[in-house]
Structure 1
Amino acid sequence: MDTINTLGLFVGSLLSNTLASLSGGGAGLIQFPLLIFLGLPFAIALATHKVASVALGLGAAIKHLRSGTLEWQLALYVILAGSLGAKVILFVPGRAAEAMLGLLILGLGLYSLTKQQLGQHAAPCHRDRYGYLLGALCLSSIGILNGSLTAGTGLFVTLFLVRWFGFDYKQAVAPTLVSVGLFWNGIGAATMYLSGAEIYWPWIPVLLLGSLLGGYLGAHLATKKSNALIKRCFEILTFIIGIKLLLGL
């Protein structure tokens, strides 16, 4: 790659991962299409994006650990609940599947938009044995989607933690990024590699740097900004990703 393309790849990775780290998901919104635009086939771009996304979780984890905003018990629960599902890679990004996913993600954004107080204040619920068991089943299902999709599963986990367990957005974003970004994506990337998926290694260093810095910067903003801003960023990303998938852009 020439200098201009390398710089574009870094800026795109930095921007997408900063937004994802702030709102709890959606790094593939910019990063994945950028890889295809620069010439990678769909399957190679997906595998390469998954590897790079691990650095998003690492960057976010470093910042949240330093800030003391990461609830390790919750993060460990999400990691264990979704890891089994994250090992299952479904290569089904057909147009019908993409359109259905787009509608579902748009639904997430609309739901959040119509619930003005959603995630603004913690309101603990479903934190008993039955609630955690059902929550684990739901997270495992999201983990399956995570291995197969380009963007959006972190947004599912963020809203699920807010809606099902009653966390506010700040509480939900930190464990989501560590669990999905670092562990689920790591498992998914390893599974894709072992199953024979090709990764374009020459671009990995630039993507890792952009993802790491973006993850840290977004986590820094998340600890400083209000739940209202994080909620609004979440909604904007769901609308953009949903429309993109629905229209096949």
Structure 2
Amino acid sequence: MSILEHLGLALVALIANGFSALAGGGAGLLQLPALIFLGLPYPVALATHKIATVALGAGAGLRHVKESTFSPARLGVILGAGVPGVLLGAWLVLEIPPRAGEIALGLLTVALGWYSWRRPQLGQTRRIISDSLNHALIGAAGLFVIGILNGSLASGTGLMVTLWLVRWYGMSYTEAVGYTMVLVGLVWNGAGALMLGTFGTVQWDWLPALLLGSFIGGYLGATLAIRYGNRLVKRAFEVVTVLTGIALLLPVP
């Protein structure tokens, strides 16, 4: 690739990951199709995209850590329940065709945006939640299932985690996006990237531009989320979920 093409990659990554850091997910809406359009086969594009999104988590996470107080217990639950699912999903994507899962995930992702839009007060303030064992187990099970999808499919699972944290754990949208960017963007995607990078094929020479754009976009998107608060984040979440779901429903070239 020429220098201009690498700069184009960096720009696509910056825009895609900037919106992702603002909305709580959806970097694959622009970045993955761009990689496929530029000639990468789907499995190679997916592995390359997953590795690049680790920089999204690093950039956005750096900004959120400066502003947020994370609960160690909540961090532990999201990591402990999600990472095993991510590793399982990353292994499964190497074994089975992902198209049926993408269609199901696309429909579900559109439904998430519709659900949030129909509830204007959702995620605008923190809510008190149950501390029962049953509530904790269902929450962990939900994160494990989303982790499987995160490891095996292209996009939309960060958005699912964001809404799950808002709906099940009572977080505000801005707070939930902070957790999503740090734990999903950095740790979950890092685990999936390690699995795909080890057993799959990666376009390594494209990664510097993608990593740079992802890091800067993540930082800028997180800055907007923190500055403008829950209402903007909620609207961005709803728009990105619907667009991501539609993109997942469209056939891969």
Q: Same fold (TM over 0.5)?
A: yes
Matched, 1:60 2:60: yes
- What is the CA deviation profile of residues 58-86 of structure 1, one whole-angstrom value per residue up to 9, with x for unaligned ones? 11111111223544442332122101101
- 1:232 is matched with 235
Equivalent position SS for 1:150? coil
RMSD: 1.5
- Conserved 8 A contact 1:75-1:176: no
- Conserved 8 A contact 1:56-1:181: yes
- What is the CA deviation profile of residues 134-164 of structure 1, one whole-angstrom value per residue up to 9, with x for unaligned ones? 2111101110000111110000000001111
With 130-139 and 47-56 compared, the bigger mean Cα shift is at 130-139
Q: What TM-score, normalized by structure 2, do the two folds share?
A: 0.93
CA distance in 1, matches of 2:26, 2:164: 15
- 1:141 is matched with 145
- Conserved 8 A contact 2:18-2:218: yes
Matched, 1:248 2:251: yes
Matched, 1:9 2:9: yes
Matched, 1:114 2:118: yes
- 1:100 is matched with 104
- Conserved 8 A contact 1:109-1:236: yes
Q: How does 1:201-220 map to 2 (within 5 A)?
A: 201-220=204-223
Amino acid paired to 2:38? L
CA distance in 2, matches of 1:68, 1:244: 32
- Conserved 8 A contact 1:76-1:179: no
Report the CA distance between 1:5 and its aligned residue. 1.4
- 2:179 is matched with 175
Report the CA distance between 1:206 and its aligned residue. 0.7
Matched, 1:128 2:132: yes
Q: What TM-score, normalized by structure 1, do the two folds share?
A: 0.95
Amino acid paired to 1:189? A
What's the % identity of the aligned pairs? 49
Report the CA distance between 1:243 and its aligned residue. 1.2
- Conserved 8 A contact 2:59-2:214: yes
Report the CA distance between 1:223 and its aligned residue. 0.7
Report the CA distance between 1:191 and its aligned residue. 1.2
Q: Name stretches of at least 5 consecutive residues in structure 2 with no aligned partner.
A: none
- 2:161 is matched with 157
- Conserved 8 A contact 1:69-1:174: no
- Conserved 8 A contact 2:146-2:157: yes
CA distance in 1, matches of 2:17, 2:69: 19
Aligned length: 248
Equivalent position SS for 1:191? helix
- 1:80 is matched with 80
Residues 1:127 and 1:18: Cα distance change in structure 2 (over 3 Å): farther
- Conserved 8 A contact 2:56-2:215: yes
- Conserved 8 A contact 1:82-1:139: yes
Report the CA distance between 1:190 and its aligned residue. 0.8
- Conserved 8 A contact 1:139-1:157: yes
Residues 1:80 and 1:116: Cα distance change in structure 2 (over 3 Å): same
Q: Name stretches of at least 5 consecutive residues in structure 1 with no aligned partner.
A: none
Amino acid paired to 1:190? L
Report the CA distance between 1:7 and its aligned residue. 1.6
